[in-house]
Amino acid sequence: MTGQPMDNRLAALWRFATAITVFNLLGHTFFGFEQAWATPFVALATSYATELLLEWVDSRVRGRQPRFLGVGAKRLIEFLLPAHITALAIAMLLYSNAQLMPIVFATVAAISSKYVFRVAVHGRLRHFFNPSNFGITATLLTFHWVGIAPPYMFTENLHPYGDWILPLFFVCLGSFLNTVFTKRIPLVLAWLGTFALQGLLRNLVTGVPFPSTLLPMSGMAFLLFTFYMISDPSTTPVSVRRQVLFGSSVAVTYGLLLVLHVVFTLFFSLSIVCAVRGLALYLAPRFARARQGTKSAMPAIPSGPVTVPTVTAPAAAFSEGVES
């Protein structure tokens, strides 16, 4: 394995971390974020502490050196980049009024999912839940009074042109990052295309106006989910075919949940698909070993000419008796 995939991953993490940090700062000072200023700082402190603690515990259990230890502070900073992104995504997308404990809960759940829900892939343990999405899902299921941040707040103070310019900027930036660094643009396109198709199908089956089925695609929350959450390279497939299957599955699950009148559908649909993928990754090698065991247990079929043994009289009599 070359260093190129890791270099791309680090480059993507630096850019995602920078973008989401700037967006949160502008959101609280200019765009119109309605969460308290304390929210992102509480999320960051909780995320850093949880990540460091669980990594230290995991390293002690497995008898290895913690990944945040190294020469200089760069190793520690790079280790905390995913936790930084997760914390700010939760602080930006959840709304718990003046209560901060749900943010703490969501952040702890998000980081913990990386150490609890793991499966061995090519000899390495990999987490399969998108951390920030898992934390948001767990919080919405646990605290019925916590909701998603209102979509209007992302561009509340940007009229009359900024509410068009900002989404366009995020589409361009997200497309660039997912094309050049994460290599997840097939997944993004599959998600968007299937999302439109499920809207058309709901229009034909239930009669809901087709434009209204596409209305979520115009919101900043949808764009953030599309370009910065569903496309997480650590919890999505690598091959193009499986990326398309993953993105399409999230859109289909979204449509089914919406028909069943389930709210917060975006986050629940991604959690369900991630859970199914994790189960598939867990069962795949076991099915492969079972098939291999079945093949090895089968008697070998001779490939050369078969020599027919001479049948003695008693054996011939037995053979005739059975056949009759």
Tens of pLDDT along 47-76?
999 999 999 999 999 999 999 987 778 899
pTM of the model: 0.86
Angle formed by the axes of helices 4-26 and 162-180, to 10°?
170
User: Do residues 218 and 226 touch, judged by C-beta distance below 8 A?
Assistant: no
User: Do residues 34 and 153 touch, judged by C-beta distance below 8 A?
Assistant: yes
pLDDT at 297: 61
| φ, ψ of residue 295 in degrees (nearest 5) | -65, -40
More confident position, 220 or 44: 44
- Model confidence at 300, pLDDT cuts 50, 70, 90, reads low
Q: Which residue has the tokens 């402190």?
A: 45
- Model confidence at 293, pLDDT cuts 50, 70, 90, reads confident
Domain map (residue ranges) of the chain: 4-287
One-letter amino acid at 299 equals: P
The mean-pLDDT minimum among 81-85, 217-221, 276-280, 314-318 falls in 314-318
- Assess whether pLDDT exceeds 50 at residue 313: no
- Model confidence at 209, pLDDT cuts 50, 70, 90, reads very high
pLDDT at 80: 96
- Assess whether pLDDT exceeds 90 at residue 27: yes
Extract the tokens encoding 150: 């209102």
More confident position, 69 or 292: 69
CA distance 19 to 271: 24
51: enclosing H helix or E strand: helix 38-62
Angle formed by the axes of helices 74-93 and 38-62, to 10°?
130
- Assess whether pLDDT exceeds 60 at residue 318: no
- Assess whether pLDDT exceeds 50 at residue 105: yes
Hey, how many other C-beta atoms are within 10 angstroms of the C-beta on 239? Answer: 9
Mean pLDDT of the chain: 88
- Assess whether pLDDT exceeds 80 at residue 309: no
- Assess whether pLDDT exceeds 50 at residue 151: yes
CA distance 219 to 167: 8
The mean-pLDDT minimum among 126-135, 152-161, 165-174, 295-304 falls in 295-304
- Assess whether pLDDT exceeds 70 at residue 2: no
